[in-house]
Amino acid sequence: KDSIFVPAGTVLFRQGDAGDCAYVVEEGRIAISLQDAAQSRRVAMRGRGEIFGEMAIVDGSTRSATATAIEDSRLLVVTADRLSHRLAAADPVLRMVVDVLSGRLRATMAQLARTERAAASDAPVPATGPEPGTGEHSAMADIRLEQDLVKGIARGELCLHFQPIVELAERRVLGFESLARWNHPERGLLPPADFIPRAETSGLITAITRWALPRALDDLLRLTEAASAAQVYVTVNVSVADLQDPDFPGFIASCLASRPDAEGRLKIEVTESLMLAQPDRVRDSLHRCREMGVDVAIDDFGTGYSSLGHLHRLPIGALKIDRNFIAAFDHGENGRKIVQTILRLAEDLVIPTIAEGVETEEQAALLAEMGCGQGQGYLFARPMPPEAAGRWLRDRSS
């Protein structure tokens, strides 16, 4: 346990110090005092069950007061990273409330210090208050984005683009990855980087998946019918939140049940780094997907922390090698070594590999030579709207 014992008289921190932790009083009493050049005045006491020094871990600012143990005390230390990491990932409304409250508390402390000083010198107390109009709070943009996204989904502003996945040796088209785009009424066509990360942290991502999965199947059926390519599959990017949702496998099953022509033609992609959370629930979902004939590819492979050890216990249909490793080919031997290692691992586990971000013929040739079976990238085609993907497929097969 992170408890410390401090004898009476110990100064825990001084006003103006850099702070990186807060304390909860388990036993004893702590005096909080404000200091100026002339003197120190006690402004508060903290006893059993109370927290102090919390401002530093909320906003990383310096200590606004001095804390001294006035009895032998036992304190629980709460480090900044315990809170700030959680706060950064938290709901933006919560974040904003915490920021606003800590800002107000600070202003109050500063005002208190000025009042004390003025009382000591009989000078008039200068007026204070929050700085007016200092711009929009950073959480505001996130809150607005979330609200816009909820509306955008309902209004049909999202669409999918499709990028082919090809066999490197013969250049045969095996499938398409579906990639979300947002036709924002004011900002134009937005790439996923502008809204997927926020959707992940706010929980909206499951709404996006529920929209994307049936849409991907419908678009696939339309675009491959036009090109008479009845074997081509589609992949949908899903988040770990989806895999943790016990209803998710049932949702996939119902999407497939109402589209018999899509059977065996749906795959999902999950990012490697996301696989560590709730491994049992995730593993269960992956097994149920496989039972339905839905293969799971591990996305961005090589960028996460997954121990290779847990990979072989998961039903994995393919490894997608992150495009940064492919880009590193052009920077000599080391870039290739990582890919070589991944390919060897995949071979041992008998898992097919897909290289992402293949942009040049040299990369494609090298990958094929190293034993990578499939590729995806601008060399073959960029992500395209469904109609264009259908035309692209038709032109190739004729």
Task: Count the Cβ atoms, other than its own, within 10 Å of residue 234.
Answer: 27
Q: Which helix (H) or strand (E) holds 6?
A: strand 3-6
Which residue, 53 or 164, is less far from Ca ion as judged by CB?
Answer: 164
> Which C-beta is closer to ligand C2E: that of 70 or that of 379?
379
Q: Which does 202 bind (CB under 5 to 8 A by kind): ligand C2E, Ca ion, none?
A: none
Here the tokens at position 75 are: 């304190």
**Calpha distance 226→229 (Å, rounded):** 8
Please identify, using beta-carbon distances, which residue of 30 and 240 lies nearer to ligand C2E. 240
Nearer to ligand C2E, 69 or 286 (CB): 286
CA 173 to chain centre: 31
Residues that bind Ca ion (CB under 5 A): 237, 269, 299-300, 356
- How long is the chain? 398
**Cβ-based nearer residue to Ca ion, 73 or 163:** 163
Helix/strand/coil for 137: coil
Angstrom distance (rounded) from CA 19 to CA 54: 9
Closest to ligand C2E by CB, 116 vs 300, is 300
Give the residue with the Cβ less far from ligand C2E, 55 or 179: 179
Write out the H or E segment, with its range, that includes residue 86: helix 80-89
Residue with tokens 């005092």: 33
Give the CA angle between residues 111, 114, 120 to the nearest 5°. 145
Contact partner, 163, from Ca ion, ligand C2E, none, Cβ < 5-8 Å per class: ligand C2E
Closest contact distance (angstroms) between CB of 304 and Ca ion is 11
67 binds, among Ca ion, ligand C2E, none (CB under 5 to 8 A by kind): none
Q: How far is the CB of 111 from ligand C2E (least distance, A)?
A: 47
Sign of CA dihedral 284, 290, 296, 302: positive
Rounded to whole angstroms, the Cα distance separating 342 from 329 reads 14
The torsion region of residue 278 among left (phi > 0), alpha (psi -120 to 50) and beta comes to: left
**Which of ligand C2E, Ca ion, none does residue 73 bind to, with CB < 5 to 8 Å depending on kind?**
none
Q: Shortest Cβ distance from residue 379 to ligand C2E (Å)?
A: 7
How many CA atoms lie within 13 Å of 139's alpha carbon, on the beta-carbon side? 16
Q: Are 96 and 143 in contact (CB under 8 A)?
A: yes
Nearer to ligand C2E, 77 or 207 (CB): 207
Q: Is 381 helix (H, G, I), strand (E, B) or coil?
A: coil
Residues that bind ligand C2E (CB under 6 A): 163, 179-180, 191-193, 196, 205, 208, 212, 237-239, 269, 299-300, 323, 356-359, 376-378, 383
- 219 or 269: CB nearest Ca ion: 269
Among 131, 4, 165, CA closest to 73: 4
Shortest spacing between CB 57 and ligand C2E, in angstroms: 32
Q: Hey, what are 316's tokens?
A: 């994995």
Whether 21 contacts 79, CB under 8 Å: yes
